[in-house]
Every structure is written in C-alpha cells, then in structure tokens.
Structure 1
Amino acid sequence: MSGAVRWGVLGTAGIAARAFLPALREAGGGTAAVVAGRDLSRAEEYAARNGVTQAVRGYEAVIEDPSIDAVYIPLPNALHAQWTIAALEAGKAVLCEKPLCLTAAEAGNVIEVARRSVRPLWEAFVFPFHPQTARLRGLLAGGAIGELREIWSSFHFTMEGTEDIRLEAALGGGALYDVGCYPVRLAHLLFGGDAVAGHAVAVKGEAGVDIETAGVLEFDSGRLMMSCGFALPFTTYTRLVGTGGEIRLTNPFHPEPHDGLEVWRDGRLIDRHEPGEGTAFSWGIRHIHEVLRGEAEPRHTAADDSLGTARSLDMLR
C-alpha cells in the first residue's frame, strides 16, 4: 500500500486516548480515520475530543469498511478474540491490546487465523520496538552482566475507585492480565523459549479478580520473579541478574525521558543509559506502518510471540 495508513479504533477506551492516539500522531504516516462505539453520541464526543475523523455505531462498521487498513482493539479482554478474528478475516492488520486472549487455547485459535491472514496481527506489547529494549538486548548479548539468570520485575499502580472494567471477572479483569503480563512478556523476550514451570499466589477482591499477584516462572536458562497489582504506588522497577553483574531499569515497558537503564557490577554503578526518544507505542506503530508500506518485514507478531506468553499466564492464573 502507499499513502497514510488508515486506522480504525474499536471502542472508546481510555488507553486509546492516553497512549495509542498520541503515539499515532507522533509516529506519522497514519491517521485515525474512525472510532466505533456501541453508543453513537459517545463515540462522536470521543472522536471530537481525540482528533478522530469519524465516529460510527457498531464495531462491524469499522471491520467492513474497505478503506480501513489497520484496526486497534482496546476492548475488554474477554472480547479480544472475537473482534481480532473478525478484523483479520476482513483483511485488516490488527494491533490488539494485551493480553491477546484469556487462555492459551483461545490464543492458539486466534493465532491460527492470523497465520492464514493477508495482514499481520500484533499484540500490544510495544516495548520490544523501543530503542531502550534494543540497547538492553545488546548489552546482554555483549556479556555486560555475564549470563542472565534471574529477572525480578514488578508492575503496580493504585487503581482509583471501584467502577472499572479491569475489576470485572466476566470481562477478563484482574492485575495479572492487566499489568502482570508485562514482566511475563519481558521474560520470554530475554530468556527465549517457553516457560517450563510456574506458580503464583493471588489476593482477590470483592469482584473475584486478583488485585495483587506474585509468582515465579522457570525457564531453561533462568527464572522470572514477578509481582503486580492495583493497590500499591506506581512502579515498574526491574532487575536483570547475571553471573557477572546486573542491569536495573526503572521502566522497561513504557520508558519516559526521566527513566534509565543502569549496569552494576560488584555493587558499583558502571554505566547508565537514557531511554532515547519516542514512546514505545510510537515505535511500535512506526514499525506497523513500515510493514504495511512494504518497507520492512514484520517483527514481534502475535504468531511468533504471543502463544508462549499466554501459556505462562495460564500457569500463573
């Protein structure tokens, strides 16, 4: 294809307004052509507030629109599989919010559809596209901390109020699915291969979903020790412990200018790196645009990366 990539957004979720739409403007090469909602007036208000060209009623209107090249799906987790499959079968590229699905079996079904589709599917773990991740992987490959053995990673924030879809069991809520999946995806990226064992403990809220989870995943070459939740102050602090030192990151998932990556050996700071320009989302969207214009081969697609993460989440659920 040539020209600007035309995106459709399914639903009026806050994550699209906070992260995806600003990143789309930052990335360039694409436009937010349409947003769909169950309520047209709400979708119209959302479109006007967030710079989306058009609003329509019903997700089918976006799926069936031949002018739409790519679809972003920030719907509740329980709806991801249904609408991802519909968009893929309509010939759209798809960026689906994480987690791709609620079980590995469901993820496997979606990935089979993706492998037959004319355009790729990505799960919205966009940090692998950020320059900080490339620097991190380069340091590990260069032996900066010897052989990686352990990853300690937390993702917590304080959820305000009780009216939130992430607290609804029927919609696939819970801390593990919302933020605990990030350390899991990071471990798969850095260790490679599937986890061979895992277990977790969880604190559940009144709605029946986990509001805090802590767990361990074992890989052939090391282990992940993770925690996540909705009840503590914001943190994404992560340590990578190797045989010759460690790397400390304040935010490996969505680094901002004040974040950093540090290399430590023998209890001393050896080196520090700034994260670089741009948000993780904008780097991910740039890559999608390059793929759709035929300028790059797709990387970090759901077909390549998502099933292992889903299997690990099954172990920790």
Structure 2
Amino acid sequence: MTDPVRWGVLGAANFARHFMAPAIHEALGAELVALATSDPAKAEPFRAFAPGLRLHDSYEALLADPAVEAVYIPLPNHLHVEWTLKALAAGKHVLTEKPIALHADEIDRIIAARDASGLLAAEAFMILHHPQWQRARELVRGGAIGPVRHVDAVFSYDNRDGANIRNRPETGGGGIRDIGVYTYGSVRYVTGAEPEALEARLIRENGVDTWAQVTGVMAGEGQRFTYSALTSMRLFPRQEVVFQGDLGLIRLTAPFNAAVFGEAQVELHRPGLSVTVERFPAARHYKLQVEAFCRSVREGVAYPVPLEFSRGTQVMIDRIFAVATDISL
C-alpha cells in the first residue's frame, strides 16, 4: 500500500475543526499529523479524533516540520496568497481555502511558484469533487436538456455577526468571495462557458457586499445562455442551481452544502411532467477532495480542479466588482 500523504493544518479554525481536519483524518491515502496553533486548548478538539497530533506554536514551525508533506490553509482570505507561497517555498504541497486569492493576478504568482517547485497547489473548491456536480456536467454536456438557454444560481445564508471575518473588509470578507465562488465556478464547470457580458447590483455594509445580484450572458463549448446569480449573507438560507434547456431542465437541490443544507439530489425534468431524481446521500465532498489531492501527489494523476480553473472564477469575480453598481433596498 502507498504511504499516506502526511498533512499539517495552519491554524485551528472552526471550519478546519468541524470539516476539513476530520476529512483529512478519514480520507484514504491521508494522515493528519500536525497542527499549528498558539493556543493548546484549541488543539484539543482536533486531538479527540487524531490523538497523535503534533502541535506547533507557529505557522513557520509547522512548515519547517520535515514530517509534514502537505499543508491545508484555512486562514482568513487576505492571508491565503502569503501562506500558500510560503508553504510552496518550504517544499510542501498546499491546499488553500477558497478564494485562494483576492485578485486573478495573485493566482498567477501561485501558478508560477507551483510550476517552479513541482509541487501541487490547489484551491479547496470541494463541491466539484461531489458526484452530483459530476453528474450534472455529464447530463448537460451529453445533451440531456438540449442546448442550455438559461442558468439560475442562488446561495444565501444569514450572518449578522460584525466580528465574523466574512463581515470585515480588512480580512477580505463579503458574500461574493465567500459564496459567489460557488454560484459562478459551478456554472463554469458544468457548461464550460465564460461570461460574455455581466451586470451586477450590490448592497454593502461596512465595506463588504452582503447582497449581490449578477446577471448577464455566458458563452462557450458551443452554447450561449443568459445567467442569473444571487448571493447574500443577510437572507434566509437557500441553495439551488437550475440549468434550463430546450428539452428539459436540471435542478440541484443542495448544491453547495450537501448533507448539511439537505440531501444532494439531481433532478432531470423532461417533457410530459417526467422527473428523474438521482440522490447522493453518502457522498462526502471534503473527504473526496482530500483523496483526489493525495492521488495527485502520490500517483501523479491530474488534479481535477487546477489553479487555472480557480483563476477563471477569480477573473469573473474581478469583473463583477468592476461593473457593479451599489444599490439599497
């Protein structure tokens, strides 16, 4: 059996504690061996499932640990580029939370460092490792609904905690950077299309977008369709993506937080009120993401969500901010 990839985590973030660290611990081909935190009390929940975990009191100390091969970075958005580059310079493979950067040109720096080092660096865009998205892509590109004519994507939740990093401009907060990556990147993945024309209306609080409506036209892979996306950090929770074509539509009911928001389902609606529902109750996208990363490290297979794809989504985000009009409701 191939030796597992030995992982370290930079910081004892709640998200790492509840989702990614357990996924690394449970994933085939992975072993969680180290955590960097200056507060030993924050390490105890991690040690509950990884009792042999080594603690480092600084990020630099973890990057200097020769036993650590790969690093997961769940730090606030504005620190992602800095510590991704430091991890690569330290000779570590690195998986960094989304958005991996705040501007597309910053991803160019990471790509250059990745290529120079020969290491794997990627954005933790976990949803594309979920079989519901792979199935949606297969159906759309296989012509199940005919040419795509329109796509709707919605992701909202309610977060009014002013201290939360998502509500703070100095940490790279805002709804677009937190959840817009999903409503934009998922549609790019399924259709292969890129934005041709975009308009955006934003509501901002304290310098971050809390509500964003993006509309426009996307084109590519022989298709051209209208597009509408809504993201908000001030609305009742909702998640849904619909791909509508001439011959039917595909609806994903829990597209972004599968098994947390609800059961992942792909509905195929066809003429005559025909509805076929495929369910994915057991799929765990965080675990699948780690396993894909480890296969790429150990076996050299292409990672399914490369930085070039992440850059394309960031280009779209940059463009949205450039054309956005601020409104109030």
Question: TM-score, normalising length from structure 2?
Answer: 0.89
Seen in structure 2, the aligned counterparts of structure 1 residues 199 and 55 have a Cα distance that, compared at 3 Å, is farther
- Give how far 1:193 is off: 5.0
Q: Quote the residue 1:112 is aligned against.
A: 112
- Give how far 1:252 is off: 2.1
Q: Could you say what secondary structure the match of 2:299 adopts?
A: coil
1:296 matched to 2:301: yes
Larger mean Cα displacement after TM superposition, 17-26 or 182-191: 17-26
Larger mean Cα displacement after TM superposition, 180-189 or 253-262: 253-262
Q: Could you say what secondary structure the match of 1:297 adopts?
A: coil
Distance 1:113 1:295 in 2: 18
Q: Quote the residue 1:227 is aligned against.
A: 230
Distance 1:149 1:92 in 2: 43
Q: Quote the residue 2:312 is aligned against.
A: 308
Q: Is the 8 A contact 1:211 1:231 kept in 2?
A: yes
Equivalent residues in 2 for 1:135-284, closer than 5 Å = 135-159=135-159, 161-205=161-205, 207-220=206-219, 221-256=224-259, 258-266=263-271, 268-284=273-289
Matched AA of 1:248: R
Map Cα deviations across residues 221-243 of structure 1 (whole Å, 9 max, x no partner).
Answer: 22431111111122211111112
- Structure 2, unaligned runs of 5 or more: 322-329
Distance 1:201 1:100 in 2: 24
Q: Is the 8 A contact 1:240 1:248 kept in 2?
A: yes
Seen in structure 2, the aligned counterparts of structure 1 residues 109 and 270 have a Cα distance that, compared at 3 Å, is same
Map Cα deviations across residues 26-84 of structure 1 (whole Å, 9 max, x no partner).
Answer: 323212211112x2334434543563602211111122222111111110100000001
Distance 1:25 1:47 in 2: 10
Larger mean Cα displacement after TM superposition, 225-234 or 263-272: 263-272
Seen in structure 2, the aligned counterparts of structure 1 residues 18 and 149 have a Cα distance that, compared at 3 Å, is farther
Q: Is the 8 A contact 1:217 1:312 kept in 2?
A: no
Q: Quote the residue 1:92 is aligned against.
A: 92
- Give how far 1:253 is off: 2.5
Distance 1:160 1:218 in 2: 32
Distance 2:49 2:237 in 1: 26
Map Cα deviations across residues 121-141 of structure 1 (whole Å, 9 max, x no partner).
Answer: 111111222121221122112
Q: Quote the residue 1:128 is aligned against.
A: 128
Distance 1:95 1:267 in 2: 45
Matched AA of 1:56: H
- Give how far 1:278 is off: 2.3
Distance 1:107 1:295 in 2: 22
Distance 2:61 2:272 in 1: 57
Q: Could you say what secondary structure the match of 1:61 adopts?
A: helix
Q: Quote the residue 1:44 is aligned against.
A: 43
Distance 1:43 1:282 in 2: 22
Larger mean Cα displacement after TM superposition, 168-177 or 129-138: 129-138
Matched AA of 1:173: G
Matched AA of 2:157: F
Aligned residue pairs: how many? 314
- Give how far 1:194 is off: 3.5
Matched AA of 1:182: Y
Q: Is the 8 A contact 1:47 1:55 kept in 2?
A: no
Q: Could you say what secondary structure the match of 1:105 adopts?
A: helix
Q: Is the 8 A contact 2:17 2:46 kept in 1?
A: no
Q: Is the 8 A contact 1:94 1:120 kept in 2?
A: yes
- Give how far 1:85 is off: 0.8
Larger mean Cα displacement after TM superposition, 183-192 or 251-260: 251-260
Q: Quote the residue 1:286 is aligned against.
A: 291
Distance 1:164 1:180 in 2: 18
Q: Could you say what secondary structure the match of 1:258 adopts?
A: coil
- Give how far 1:246 is off: 0.6
Q: Could you say what secondary structure the match of 2:83 adopts?
A: helix
Distance 1:119 1:217 in 2: 37
Q: Is the 8 A contact 2:199 2:215 kept in 1?
A: yes
Seen in structure 2, the aligned counterparts of structure 1 residues 51 and 135 have a Cα distance that, compared at 3 Å, is same
Distance 1:117 1:216 in 2: 39
Q: Is the 8 A contact 2:137 2:189 kept in 1?
A: no
Q: Quote the residue 1:81 is aligned against.
A: 81
Distance 1:175 1:137 in 2: 25
Q: Could you say what secondary structure the match of 2:195 adopts?
A: coil
Distance 1:132 1:74 in 2: 25
Seen in structure 2, the aligned counterparts of structure 1 residues 267 and 12 have a Cα distance that, compared at 3 Å, is farther
Larger mean Cα displacement after TM superposition, 66-75 or 159-168: 159-168
Distance 1:243 1:212 in 2: 31
Q: Over aligned residue pairs, what C-alpha RMSD do you find? A: 2.0
- Give how far 1:276 is off: 5.0
Distance 1:209 1:297 in 2: 36
